[in-house]
A = this chain, B = another copy of it.
Amino acid sequence: VKILTFISDFGLSDPYVGEVKGVVKAVSPDAEIIDITHGIEPGNLLEASFVLAGAYRYFSAGSVHLVVVDPGVGTGRDIIAVHTADHCFIGPDNGVLHEAVKEEGENDMKIYALDRVLLYEELSRRAAGNRVVQRLLDAPASATFHGRDLFAPLAGLLLEEVQTRSVCVPCDRKRMERLDIPVPVEKERSVTGTVLHIDRFGNLITNIPGDLLRGGGDVFIHVKDELVSVGSLVGTYADVEAGKPVALISSRRHLEIAVNGGSARDYFAASCGDEILVMRGRCDD
C-alpha cells in the first residue's frame, strides 16, 4: 500500500479536501491518504513548509507527499514533482517543498514539471468505465482548483507507479523556487533567532538548532526583551513550576520556549517572527 500525505490550506468545512481525495482514489483505488493538516493559514507558505519538513520524515520510504498551498493557482507557476532517494513531493513551484527536499539531500533530487498534455493522455488511457477520470477529461481544468483538477490526478498516477516522465517533463534543478526562511545569526557569545512556528499549545518553536546550545554552561534566553531562562536548558515542561516559562530543545531539535501547563504565546504575547536572543556562557570560556 502506498501512502499519500496531504497538506493544504483548504480547511475542513468546505468540500475541497473531499473532492481531492475522491479524485486520488478514483485514479489509485488502493492509495492510503493520511492528512497532515488542512489548517494552514490561507496562502501561508512558510507555515506549510515548516509542517511538511517536520512530518514527511516519519513516513516510510516510497511515500508521496502532496502540498496544495497555492496562492498562484491558475497562473503560469509550475506544478512540480520532486523525487529524492526515498520520497516524492508534489506541490506548486512556489517554494513550499524546498525545506523538506533540502533535508532529504538536494544532490539526489530530480525535479519534474507537470505537462498537461501528457497528463490528459495518460488519464485518457484510464477513462474507460471510470466516471471520475472521464469527468476530468470532459471539462477543462478549472483555473481556481488545481488541487482537484491537476494535483490530485498527478498524485494518483504517481501512486500507481506511472513513470513520472510519462506525465511530466524534467526541470533544471536550479529552477526550483525557495522561500526566504530566516536563519539564526551566531556571534561569539550570542545567537539571535526567530520564532518560526507557534503550535496549538502556544509553544514557540524557533529556528535555532539545539546543537548550537548544547555546549554546556549557562544560557540566558530573552523573548521580546524578557529573560526566560538562566542556567541550563531543562529537559521537559514539567521541570519548572506550573505557569512558569521554560526553554528546552524541541522534538525537532530546535530551541523551544514554552510555559508549563500554559501558553508561551499568551505569556509573552508572542507572534511568528519575534526575535529570540540567546546569550551563552560556555564551560570552555
Is the C-beta of A227 less than 8 angstroms from some C-beta in chain B?
A: no
Question: Which one, B14, B34, B55, contacts A199 given CB within 8 A?
Answer: B14
Give a binary string over A1-16; 1 marks a CB under 8 Å from any B CB, 0 the rest: 1010100011111111
Chain B residue contacts of A256, Cβ below 8 A: 144
Contact A201 B42 (CB under 8 A): yes
8 Å CB contact of A22 from B18, B26, B43, B59: B59
Confirm or deny: A220 has a beta carbon within 8 angstroms of a beta carbon on chain B. Answer: no
User: What 1/0 mask marks residues of chain A from 129 to 163 whose CB sits below 8 Å from any chain B CB?
Assistant: 01110010000001111001100000000000000
Taking the complex as formed, is A273 at the interface, i.e. its CB lies under 8 A from any CB of chain B?
no
A19 at the interface (CB under 8 A from B): yes
Q: Which residues of B sit under 8 angstroms from A5, Cβ to Cβ?
A: 18, 22
**What is the distance, in angstroms, from A89's C-beta to the closest C-beta of chain B?**
14
Q: Report the separation of the CA atoms of residues A144 and B255 in the bound assembly, to the nearest whole angstrom.
A: 12
User: Do B15 and A86 touch across chains, with their CB atoms under 8 A apart?
Assistant: no
Check if A11 sits within 8 Å of B131, measured CB to CB: no
Say which one of A168-176, A182-190, A235-243, A274-282 lies at the interface with B.
A235-243
* Number of copies of this chain that the complex holds: 3
A251 near B37 (CB under 8 angstroms)? no
Instruction: With a 10 A CB-CB cut-off, give which of A22, A33, A236, A258 has the most chain B CB atoms.
Output: A22
Given contacts A58-B26, A236-B75, contact A39 B12 (CB under 8 A): yes
Docked CA distance A29–B1 (Å): 8
Contact with B along A28-61 (1 / 0, CB 8 A): 0110111111111011000000111011011111
Report the stretch among A66-74, A106-114, A116-124, A211-219 that lies at the interface: A66-74
- What interface size band does chain A fall in? 35 or more
Q: A199-214: contact bitstring with B at CB < 8 Å (1 yes, 0 no)?
A: 1110000000000000
The answer to whether B71 touches A237, judged by C-beta atoms less than 8 angstroms apart, is yes
Q: What residues on B are CB-neighbors of A22 within 8 Å?
A: 5, 34, 55, 58-60, 63
Let me know if A164 is at the binding interface, CB within 8 A. Answer: no
Option from B17, B30, B34 in Cβ contact (under 8 Å) with A18? B34
Q: In whole Å, how far is A204's beta carbon from the nearest beta carbon of chain B?
A: 13
Which of B12, B51, B86, B149 lies in contact with A37, CB distance below 8 A? B12
Residues of B within 8 A of A144 (CB): 236-237, 248, 250-251, 256, 258
A143 to chain B, nearest CB (A): 4
A21 interfacial by beta-carbon distance below 8 Å: yes
Question: What are 7 A-to-B residue pairs whose CB atoms are below 8 Å?
Answer: A3-B25, A5-B22, A11-B199, A22-B60, A23-B58, A42-B200, A144-B258
